[in-house]
Amino acid sequence: MIVYGSIFSPYCARVALAARHKGIKHTFAPPVGGGYKSPEFLKMNPLGKVPTMKDGKTVVFESAVIVDYIEAKSKKKSLYPKNAKDAASARMIGAVAGDYVHNTVSKLFAQMGPDRDQKAVEAVAAELAKYLDIAEKVIAAKPYAAGAKFTIADVFALPSLAFMELFVPLFGIVNPIGGRKKLARYMAKAKKDKLMGGVLKDMEDGFRAWQKSRGL
C-alpha cells in the first residue's frame, strides 16, 4: 500500500496509525508527477490533496475513507468498539479532539507570512482553547482516547493534538494543553505507547524537517 503524503500532516498520520495498528504494510511516498497538482496526481485524486492511497489498482482519498478501507481490509484488531454506543462515542471523541481542534489550528496557515495579523492569531488561540476545553471533557484518557483500548478516537485525536503541539508555538501560543489534566495525561502516555509514540516521533521528525526547509 502506498500513501502519498507526509506523515506530519495529521490527515496522513491518521492513516499511519490505523495501518500500523492493523498491521498493514504501507510506505509513504512523494506525489507522482512531481506535485499534488500535477496531471498524474490529479488523475488519482481530483482534489489534489493528501493523503491519497494506492493499494494495487484501488485508489482512495480522504483520510476518513482510507481509514475505513484499512479497517475493512482485515477483521483483526478492529478500530471500533463492539458495543454500538461505545463505537458512536469513540467517533464523537475523535471528531471533537481531532476535527474541531485541527480545523482551528489550520487557520494559522494563513498567518505564516511576514504580515501576520496578531488579532487573528489571538482569535484562533481563543477558539482553540474552547475546543480543547470540550476535548478535555469528552476524552477518556484511560489511557486511550475512548478507554482501555486503541480505537478510531485515537486515530483522529492523536494526530491533531500532536500537530497542534508542534505548530502553534511558532505563533507564540505556548503549551496549548496547559492545565487540562486528562489531555496532558493522554499525550504523556501516548509518547510511551509503542504504536502511538512511534507515530508521534515520526510526525515530529517530519515536522522539524519541514520547518527547517521553510526557514521557520
Residue 130 CB partners (closer than 8 Å, separation 6+): none
Residue 188 CB partners (closer than 8 Å, separation 6+): none
Identify residue 107 by its one-letter amino acid code.
K
Closest contact distance (angstroms) between CB of 155 and other proteins is 13
Binder to other proteins among 64, 120, 184, 195 (CB under 8 A)?
64
Interface with other proteins includes 168 (CB under 8 A)?
Answer: no
60 φ, ψ to 5°?
-135, 140
Closest contact distance (angstroms) between CB of 133 and other proteins is 8
- CA 125/CA 84 separation, integer angstroms: 35
For residue 178, the tally of other CB atoms under 10 A from its CB is 12
In the numeric block, the cell 495498528 is attached to 21
| CB-nearer residue toward other proteins: 119 or 214 | 119
Interface with other proteins includes 126 (CB under 8 A)?
Answer: no
Closest contact distance (angstroms) between CB of 109 and other proteins is 16
Binder to other proteins among 22, 38, 54, 62 (CB under 8 A)?
62
Interface with other proteins includes 58 (CB under 8 A)?
Answer: yes
Interface with other proteins includes 186 (CB under 8 A)?
Answer: no
Residue 49 C-alpha cell reads as 490533496
Q: Which of residues 69-98 bind other proteins (CB under 8 A)?
A: 69, 71-73, 84-85, 87-89, 91-92, 95-96
Strand partners, 29: 4
Classify residue 68 by burial, with Cβ atoms within 10 Å: 0-12, 13-18, 19+: middle
Interface with other proteins includes 137 (CB under 8 A)?
Answer: yes
| CB-nearer residue toward other proteins: 44 or 162 | 44
- CA 114/CA 117 separation, integer angstroms: 9
Interface with other proteins includes 46 (CB under 8 A)?
Answer: yes
The residues of the shown chain that bind other proteins, judged by CB under 8 A, are 46-47, 58, 60-62, 64-65, 68-69, 71-73, 84-85, 87-89, 91-92, 95-96, 100, 133-134, 137
